[in-house]
Chains A and B, each alone.
Chain A
Amino acid sequence: MTAFRFAAIGLLVVVASAFGWRAVRSGMHAQKTTLPAQPANAQTASPQLQGTGLHAPSTSAPASESAKHLSHFSIAGREYTIDLETKKIQPGSTGAQGDTVVAMEIKDSEGTVQYRRTFPYIEAKEDYFESWSVSAFLLTGTNGTGLLVSYDVYSEPSAPEEEPTGWFQVFGVVNGKFIPFGAPLEVRGGLLDEYAEGHTYKATRALGAQADAIEFKTWTGHCRLIYPVGVDWAQGKLSPAQECTKSAGALTTGCEYRVVSEDKFYTEGITFVRLWARPDEQSGQPVNIVVKKDSKVALLTARVATRWVEGNAAGPSANSKGLIDDAGGFGVAADTELWLKVRIDGKEGWMHSEEDFRALGLPEDQ
């Protein structure tokens, strides 16, 4: 695996999607973006109106389709490319139109397809529009190098969301063979800006001698916790880097995760929140803490049960027509309680109920 460390690195970032619709619609809910889940410094194409789309060379695809041949990347001394087949979405009665990705291929230097995934194509209708986009980062860690590809779908109408749902898939070379490290992972959240450098997404730390941890953010309903995923370069597998699952009949109180800081709290005037000494209502009487508009609030830690679902490594079902149906995923477990450790004007404690989350002005889905 050490060879991976010295792999020549070149990379690409690719995004092809129905930008026209997005550009038109983005003004409708500027604070609740539904753009793909790449970090802000990822190289992504700016939204473009129809007619000014990506300038990828056309291939022999039908007139309504085109192929985007993207720059190559190198893993373990071998060159690979990602090609996207895109297709125009014909305008519906609303006039919305754009491109959508209908297939992605990863090819080796001889042009042999090492991996192919298709995406559903849905004609725009009077009341519905859907487009797919694909982006990729070179994934680098202490123990290996691979490719991190994300798949995103944009649809209208859609309710404003604090975090959109996307899919992530890791690829690498194991025993000389380029393979996906399992099925895509469905995540309501995405990558973290702090680990993205240009076209590269960096692992946060080594896990032993053959694995690295990469971190994602995932939405809890009121904040974004940081969820570490272990990438085993030798076995070509992903797994939770912090074991904390909630299984039927064996409820856990959850694990503690770091939390992404929030820029904005929706507080007005003066209010209060109840803070407990520990993440347990039986730990004693809560202390009421005054929160003013100019209070200094920091989110410190989330304690919550999470879930990890293995995807179908065999790939999508033959008659798959909808979302990525072979995906696994991770996130906050259902029917679990979120405890959040906060610091408010220097006072620390744990809070856990909807009324306190709202009193503090934490974000929430509308």
Chain B
Amino acid sequence: MPFMGMMRAANGTVSAISQPDAIEVRAWTGNFYVFVPLRVDWSHGGLAQGQRCVEMFGGRLKDVGCDMRVETVRKPPADQFTFARVFVEANENLGSVEHAVVQKDSKVEILGARAITTWNENAELIQPVFVDVWLHVRIDDRTGWIHGEENFAAVGLPGGSPAP
């Protein structure tokens, strides 16, 4: 599930103002929080996308994921072993993939996230929508990128609603 966050000025989801004309909102991706930058457009009295990442593919610009800070609350799996496919790049078609077995005593570090963020406007709400969500992790001595529900769950981040 790509999205799920929303920003309401009144409910405290705005967590920080990092620059005079930019804010960073904490938004739920479905498995963890990411901090998404927004730009305050004073001249038009609104908010605008704060970050867009593109790469050149075949002579054309294509949206790719931007790196974001993450906030996670891990729930270590009950199983003796869980399994994660760890990619060298945040792209299934680039580089190799290694198999990591997550054990109860494995050291799991969440290093960051990458996703393409778009914003839906609905009446007075603007909602971030995340696609191609990747998580940068270190599992024991193996560092790389994971994505997909099964792999997020393997590192203790199963899908669900944000904690209250």
- A residues contacting B by CB (< 8 A) are 270-273, 288, 290, 355-356, 358-359
Query: Would you call B96 and A271 a contact (CB within 8 A)?
Result: no
Q: Would you call the interface of chain A mostly helix, strand, loop, or mixed?
A: strand
Contact of B101 among A290, A356, A358 (CB under 8 A): A290
Report Cα–Cα, A356/B96, bound state, in Å. 11
Q: Which of B81-98 contact A (CB under 8 A)?
A: 81, 83, 85, 96-98
- Report how many residues on chain B are interfacial, defined by Cβ distance under 8 Å: 10
Question: Which residues of chain A come closer than 8 Å to B81, judged between CB atoms?
Answer: 272, 288, 290
Q: Are B101 and A355 in contact (CB under 8 A)?
A: no
Selected contact of A273 from candidates B96, B97, B99, CB within 8 Å: B99
Q: Is B100 located at the chain interface by the 8 A CB criterion?
A: yes
Q: B3-22 CB contact bits vs A (8 Å, 1 = yes)?
A: 00000000000000000000
B96–A288 touching, CB < 8 Å: no
Contact, CB under 8 Å: A272 / B97:
no
- Nearest chain B CB to A281 CB, angstrom units: 15
Binding site for A on B (CB under 8 A): 81, 83, 85, 96-101, 103
Report the number of A-B residue pairs with Cβ-Cβ less than 8 Å.
25
- Closest-CB distance, B103 to chain A (whole angstroms): 8
Chain A residues, Cβ within 8 Å of B85 = 355
Asked if B97 and A271 make an inter-chain contact with CB atoms under 8 angstroms apart, the answer reads no
- B3 → chain A closest CB, angstroms: 26
**Across-interface contacts of A356 in B (CB, < 8 A):** 99
Taking a contact as CB atoms under 8 Å apart, the answer to whether A270 and B96 are in contact is: no
| Known contacts A290-B101, A355-B85; 19 further A-B pairs (Cβ under 8 A) | A270-B101, A270-B103, A271-B98, A271-B99, A271-B100, A271-B101, A272-B81, A272-B99, A272-B101, A273-B99, A288-B81, A288-B83, A290-B81, A355-B96, A355-B97, A356-B99, A358-B96, A358-B98, A359-B98
Minimum CB–CB distance from A270 to chain B (whole Å) comes to 5
Whole-angstrom distance between the alpha carbons of A356 and B97 in the complex?
Answer: 9
- Please, how many angstroms separate the alpha-carbon atoms of A273 and B96 in the complex? 15
Q: Bound complex: CA of A270 vs CA of B101, how far in Å?
A: 7
